[in-house]
Amino acid sequence: MKPTYLDYNATTPTDPRVVEVMRRYSLVDFGNASSLHHSHGSAAKQAIDEARGKVATLLSVQADEILFTSGATESNNLALLGLADQGRRTKRRHILASSIEHSSVLGPLRALGRQGFEVELLPVTSGGYVDPEEIRIRLRSDTLLVSIMHANSETGVLQPVLEMAPIVAGSNSLFHVDAAQTFGKEIQDLQALECDFLSISGHKMLGPKGVGALLVRRRSTKRPPLAPIMYGGGQELGLRPGTLPVPLIAGLGVAAELAIQEHETRERQALAIRCEFLQALSKVEYRINGDQSRTQRHVLNVSFLGVDSEALMLSLKGFMAFSNGAACSSGAQARSHVLAAMGLSGERISTSVRFSWGPGVARVPFDRLIDAVRSLSESAV
């Protein structure tokens, strides 16, 4: 038997219903959505339009405000780097972001810094979130953009983006939210959120890998002044060239549709596992990292003091699959910049692990976890 998968924040399994529609648009209706002179292309175009509508419905926005990308990383890069020309033209070169952003935001911000932009990283509280007043205090007349993630991938702590939005809207700045971890999960919050850009990912919510989207919201009738970062075609509002991956996009649409239909059941199931988790953890010494009043239901970042995280993962390799940090492109693990920004000690960071779960997880071998923690604690004494 495979180990129980508890790394949903890294990626989720693809729902079989999503795979089925992807199969159809790979083997049957496999046309190019730009080839409208025959039925294969028309079927592909219809699939794209339907998926765009489903994603827009989940976010409660207009379908023509959604453009498809390869995932949240590309969406983040487009939202940030695509504003560089606007910043130079208007002499607005100040950017605010949090110190706990994902590398797909911090990387483009470093690139903008090399281009002469002033990037200011906001501190977080010990609970792992940005106080909205930090944004109010630091906004300037030359602030081009505020970029804040909705939920942190390592701790599951939700940032108060709903409180931040009117603060940013009261200025001339633009607001970007990385919602890779909340799209399809925190549905009501995202539908209520007023922001200019929103990045989403398919593979974090039972959809396929390799596809995501960027919400580019209009203010009145005008779109934000975004420029493409790739060239070669007029697809996706002229901002993202290339042949559209119809199977992936159709799969994302189905995943969005299922999220709307099943979100109440998924929330109940996630909360039930969380309660079981906390009950099991009460048998050993542990510390939870992140303000639990702000944390997503399906995530726990825990430190077992005296128990090295790598040793714990190795000892449970055959029973549970979980992580000790955010997944990154190289697969390498480094000291968590998120936990460090929260002011946690080196020991607290080195003993921290993240459990994240979702639909498909029915039973967790808590007894194996507790036995492993106790054994490693005793051997460390």
**Site of tokens 């099943």:** 262
Neighbours of 231 (CB within 10 A): 7
Name the fold adopted by 16-256: Aspartate Aminotransferase; domain 2 (3.40.640)
Q: What is the pLDDT of residue 379?
A: 81
As annotated, the active-site residues are 328
Using CA atoms, how far apart are residues 98 and 161, in angstroms rounded to an integer? Answer: 12
Q: What is the pLDDT of residue 333?
A: 55
Contact 83, 226 (CB under 8 A): yes
CATH code matching the domain that covers 4-12+262-380, chosen among 1.10.1060.10, 3.90.1150.10, 3.30.210.10, 2.40.37.10 = 3.90.1150.10
User: Each residue's pLDDT tens digit in the chain (381 positions)?
Assistant: 799 999 999 999 999 999 999 999 999 988 888 777 888 888 889 999 999 999 999 999 999 999 999 999 999 999 999 999 999 999 999 999 999 999 999 999 999 999 999 999 999 999 999 999 999 999 999 999 999 999 999 999 999 999 999 999 999 899 999 999 999 999 999 999 999 999 999 999 999 999 999 999 998 888 889 999 999 877 888 899 999 999 999 999 999 999 999 999 999 999 999 999 999 999 999 999 999 999 999 999 999 999 999 999 999 999 999 998 755 544 555 689 999 999 999 999 999 999 999 999 999 999 999 999 999 998 865
Q: What is the pLDDT of residue 307?
A: 96
Q: What is the pLDDT of residue 235?
A: 87
Using CA atoms, how far apart are residues 142 and 146, in angstroms rounded to an integer? Answer: 12
DSSP 8-state symbol, 153: T
Using CA atoms, how far apart are residues 310 and 73, in angstroms rounded to an integer? Answer: 27
pTM of the model: 0.94
- The alpha carbon of 229 is separated from its chain's Cα centroid by a whole number of angstroms, namely 21
Using CA atoms, how far apart are residues 362 and 291, in angstroms rounded to an integer? Answer: 26
Q: What is the pLDDT of residue 233?
A: 79
**Residues spanned by CATH 3.90.1150.10 within the chain?**
4-12+262-380
Which two three-digit tokens encode residue 225? 């002044």
CA of 18: how far to CAs of 15, 107, 167, 203, in Å? 5, 31, 38, 11
Using CA atoms, how far apart are residues 300 and 133, in angstroms rounded to an integer? Answer: 27
Contact 65, 56 (CB under 8 A): yes
DSSP 8-state symbol, 229: S
DSSP 8-state symbol, 147: E
**Residues spanned by CATH 3.40.640.10 within the chain?**
16-256
CA of 251: how far to CAs of 21, 59, 255, in Å? 6, 17, 6
Q: What is the pLDDT of residue 327?
A: 53
